[in-house]
């Protein structure tokens, strides 16, 4: 969507530069109630700037690649563009920064909505060969305020036993301690709240599975039954 309009009969002077980028949107896993990486949209946004650069020039969003280049070249002799998370390339008449020329050699003939390459593992299916995962289990005690008192030792014993039974690599209390350091201003997030670690102990596991979901389910299954009030959340990432 273009947000600039010219008055009837007005002529545009081609000056400055336009910077174009492929748009990226966050993904959210409704079932697991947490962020699920992002998708590259195959649409582009950009902004015209003067020299030195400012932030109030005309801009656009959600344009196709050809539309974005047409918009930019009509406004500025210098056009910088990137697709995905790659480096910027020059697509204008001038190239004062000495950038590589557009298009890059690895650019596909047709752009589609897709995961960034480093997130390809999120698209794995149950039929794929197993790969190695690192899994973090967050074990949240029922009464966090007690974790700042002498009662914490009992919770640590529970975590120690759970980690040993699960064959964990190690465990720590970093998320819990980060919460406690906030003092009276701290607010307890839900263990299912997207993108936020609850005040919990963290158990580190490894394992093989075809998907992250399988790795998480397997890790949770290795933890013995915890006392009432404890919550468990698993998050898996490729080990490499």
Q: How far apart (Å, rounded) are the C-alpha atoms in residues 205 and 111?
A: 37
Residues 211-237: what's their mean pLDDT?
96
Q: What is the pTM of this model?
A: 0.78
Q: How far apart (Å, rounded) are the C-alpha atoms in residues 135 and 37?
A: 16
Looking at residue 119, the DSSP 8-state letter turns out to be: G
Please write the tens of the pLDDT for every residue from 91-126: 999 999 999 999 999 999 999 999 999 999 999 999
Going across the sheet that includes 201-209, the strands are 170-172, 201-209, 131-140, 231-238
Q: List the domain boundaries for the chain.
A: 17-120, 131-238
- Architecture of the 131-238 domain: 2-Layer Sandwich (3.30)
DSSP secondary structure, 44-93, as one string: EEEEEE-SS--S-S-EEEEE-HHHHHHHHHTT-SEEEEE-TTS--EE-SS
Question: Alpha carbon of 88 to those of 44, 47, 116, 213: distances in Å?
Answer: 13, 14, 16, 35
Q: What is the pLDDT of residue 27?
A: 94
Q: Which of 193, 200, 203 is nearest to 230 (CA)?
A: 200
Please write the tens of the pLDDT for every residue from 180-219: 888 656 565 544 433 456 799 999 999 999 999 999 999 9
Q: How confident is the model at residue 12 (pLDDT cuts 50, 70, 90)?
A: low
Q: How confident is the model at residue 6 (pLDDT cuts 50, 70, 90)?
A: low
Bridge pairing between strands 131-140 and 89-90:
unpaired
Q: How far apart (Å, rounded) are the C-alpha atoms in residues 102 and 138?
A: 46
Secondary structure (3-state) at 102: coil
Percent pLDDT > 90 in the chain is 77
Question: Alpha carbon of 17 to those of 65, 87, 90, 195: distances in Å?
Answer: 17, 17, 11, 36
Residue ranges of the alpha helices (H) in 103-193? 152-166, 174-180
Average pLDDT, the chain: 89
Alpha-carbon torsion angle 229, 172, 235, 86, nearest 10: 150
Spell out the residues 6+ positions from residue 94 whose beta carbon is closer than 8 angstroms to its own: 77, 78
Q: What is the pLDDT of residue 35?
A: 87
Contact (CB, 8 A) for 159 and 201: yes
Please write the tens of the pLDDT for every residue from 93-102: 999 999 999 9
Residue 190 or 35, more confident: 35
């Amino acid at each position: 969507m273009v947000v600039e309009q010219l008055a009837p009969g007005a002529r545009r002077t081609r000056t400055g530069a336009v910077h174009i980028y492929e748009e990226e949107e966050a993904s959210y896993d409704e079932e697991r109630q947490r962020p699920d990486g992002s998708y590259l949209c195959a649409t582009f946004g950009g902004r015209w700037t003067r020299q030195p650069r400012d932030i109030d020039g005309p801009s656009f969003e959600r344009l196709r690649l050809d539309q974005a280049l047409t918009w930019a070249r009509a406004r500025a002799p210098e056009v910088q563009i990137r697709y995905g998370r790659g480096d910027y390339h020059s697509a204008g008449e001038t190239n004062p920064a000495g950038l590589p020329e557009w298009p890059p050699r690895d650019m596909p003939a047709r752009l589609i909505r897709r995961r960034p390459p480093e997130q390809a593992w999120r698209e794995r299916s149950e039929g794929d060969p197993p790969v190695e995962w690192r899994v973090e289990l967050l074990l949240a005690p029922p009464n966090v305020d007690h974790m700042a008192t002498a009662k914490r030792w009992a919770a640590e014993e529970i975590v120690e036993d759970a980690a040993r039974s699960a064959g964990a690599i190690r465990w720590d209390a970093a998320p819990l301690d980060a919460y406690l350091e906030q003092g009276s201003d701290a607010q307890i997030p839900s263990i299912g709240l997207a993108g936020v670690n609850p005040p919990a102990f963290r158990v580190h596991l490894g394992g093989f599975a075809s998907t992250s979901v399988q790795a998480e389910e397997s890790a949770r299954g290795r933890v013995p039954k915890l006392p009432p009030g404890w919550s468990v959340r698993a998050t898996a990432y490729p080990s490499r």
